[in-house]
Amino acid sequence: MSYLKVRDLHTHFGDVRAVDGVSFDLARGEILGLVGESGCGKSTLSRTLMQLQPSTAGSMVLDGTDFVSLSPDELRRRRLDFQMIFQDPYASLNPRHTVFSTLAEAVCTRRPELSGDTLTQEVAALMQRCGMNPAAMRKYPHEFSGGQRQRIAIARALAPQPKLLIADEPVSALDVSIQSQILNLLQDLVDDLELTMIFISHDLSVVSYLSDRIAVMKSGKFVEVGEADQVFNRPEHAYTKELLTAVPSIDTDAIALRLAS
């Protein structure tokens, strides 16, 4: 049974059909990778799924509830069940708030009764789960590296205890070595917390590393959807093949020869 069921979803801006009839199903605990080049509609789709951008038509049923039809008050209450991780953590974190105040506020959206030492312990546990030292909870975002800020943003997304995470290009602004750490963290969180995730990227190799299935988007539509291994290694659509040609390859023989010399 589908945990998230999207049917014929449209998001238009005048004559621009940013999302143009997208349909897909997502099982509980599954990671769906969404890939496509800039301007294909990925971010608009993510914001529409988050109900940050109203859809023009279609439905989005999450755990039996059609979120498109909810009133603003009902949507506010249910939004705790789905959270988003943005591309630029520095832009999405309030520079005037410490890590503690940022995470404490997010924790209290689900559990407003927490305070004092209990709330501090909850924030410390969130930071540890995301690979951060709780001793740094009184610091501000500018005091951290890009990778550390993304870990804080992930902790904030986890704080309300969501069931669905939408990660919109969460590693594209990070160094390659840090990218792998964040990807492994996301995989561990999905496994440990039984989360469901939509992972968005323009990089097909990154998407294939993390995802169970991959959806390829072009001009507001899905042109190919399939198991990650099949889409990455045996693509069917010409556009998917074009994306694969942009994936860098490593000439291990040339590297070995260079090291030997």
Per residue in 95-128, pLDDT tens? 999 999 999 999 999 999 999 999 999 999 999 9
The residue ranking higher by pLDDT, 186 or 68, is: 186
Residue 44: closest CA among 22, 73, 72, 25: 22
Centre a 10 Å sphere on the Cβ of residue 60 and count the other Cβ atoms it contains. Answer: 21
Predicted pLDDT at 79? 85
Residue pair 131/152 in contact by the 8 Å Cβ criterion: no
Q: What is the mean pLDDT of residues 51-62?
A: 93
Per residue in 192-235, pLDDT tens? 999 999 999 988 888 988 999 999 999 999 999 999 999 999 99
Per residue in 9-25, pLDDT tens? 999 999 999 999 999 99
Predicted pLDDT at 95? 93
Report the chain's mean pLDDT, rounded to a whole number: 90
Q: What is the mean pLDDT of residues 169-194?
A: 90
Where does the pLDDT of residue 250 fall: very low under 50, low under 70, confident under 90, or very high at 90 and above? very low
Q: In order of start, what are the domains of the chain with their CATH numbers?
A: 4-260 (3.40.50.300)
Where does the pLDDT of residue 48 fall: very low under 50, low under 70, confident under 90, or very high at 90 and above? very high
Where does the pLDDT of residue 181 fall: very low under 50, low under 70, confident under 90, or very high at 90 and above? very high
The residue ranking higher by pLDDT, 91 or 142, is: 142
pTM of the predicted model over 0.85: yes
Predicted pLDDT at 252? 37
Find the length of the chain.
261
Predicted pLDDT at 248? 59
Q: What is the mean pLDDT of residues 228-253?
A: 80
Structure letter (DSSP) for residue 199 = E
Task: Please report, for residues 50, 84, 177, 189, 261, the alpha-carbon distance to residue 258 in angstroms, rounded to integers and kept in the order given.
Answer: 48, 43, 22, 39, 5
CA distance 211 to 205: 10
Q: Side chain identity at 10, as an amino acid letter?
A: H
Most confident of 76-85, 129-138, 252-261: 129-138
Q: Which residues contact 180 (CB under 8 A, 6 or more apart)?
A: none
Predicted pLDDT at 1? 67
